Amino acid sequence: MTVLFYAREPGVPPPDAPLPVDTSIRRWRPAADGLPPRGPRRRRNLCWWGMTRLGVLADDRFVEISLWRWGRLLHRLILTPRWHRFPFMADGDLQIGDLWTDPDARGRGLARAAIAEALRSAGDGAGRLWYVVDAANMPSVRLVESCGFALVGKGRRTRPCGIAPAGRFVIDRED
């Protein structure tokens, strides 16, 4: 599997991506908010909470951004600081990842609106913002390019001894 590495330089304004009507944004930051709220992502978010508390991440800027309508989760993504899985990142960089959109809500601009919110959440103090994607995922490639990210390299995901969580994303060729 070929992995594409996109980056967005600091100081570039977020894309114009209005939030659809009747949609609200929720942010969860383990460092500030404590344990994750109840909901469809609680188990996975408990892992992120633990990693933040244990200092696995380079700093405490992890945030989950989710979009909701009438109590229903429509979209979510996470913004993570540097950690062992992303060795190409520098201190101060953040990575947008783990995007998910409810299949019934796709094609409505939710992912673009959430990325714009993630860029605003990163603030002026952030370094580069990264987006790592499977080269075959063309909808995600089109999304990240439409949000002003530039392709900076191609590479792969390692799986030492076949264990994906121990793996890293490695840039083999810079563009």
Using one digit for the tens of pLDDT, what is the confidence trace for 60-104? Answer: 999 999 999 999 999 999 999 999 999 999 999 999 999 999 999
Which DSSP symbol is given to 148? T
CATH of 3-174, one of 3.30.430.20, 1.10.10.10, 2.60.40.1930, 3.40.630.30: 3.40.630.30
The CA–CA distances, whole Å, from 135 to 82, 131, 141 equal 22, 12, 7
Place of tokens 């062992």: 84
Task: Write down the domain spans for the chain.
Answer: 3-174
* 155 φψ region: left (φ > 0), alpha (ψ -120 to 50), beta (else): beta
E strand or H helix at 121: helix 110-122
Using one digit for the tens of pLDDT, what is the confidence trace for 28-63? Answer: 999 999 999 887 778 889 999 999 999 999 999 999
Using one digit for the tens of pLDDT, what is the confidence trace for 153-169? Answer: 999 999 888 887 778 99
The CA–CA distances, whole Å, from 55 to 33, 58, 61, 62 equal 16, 7, 11, 11
Distance CA 44, CA 42 (A): 6
- Segment 141-157 shows an average pLDDT of 96
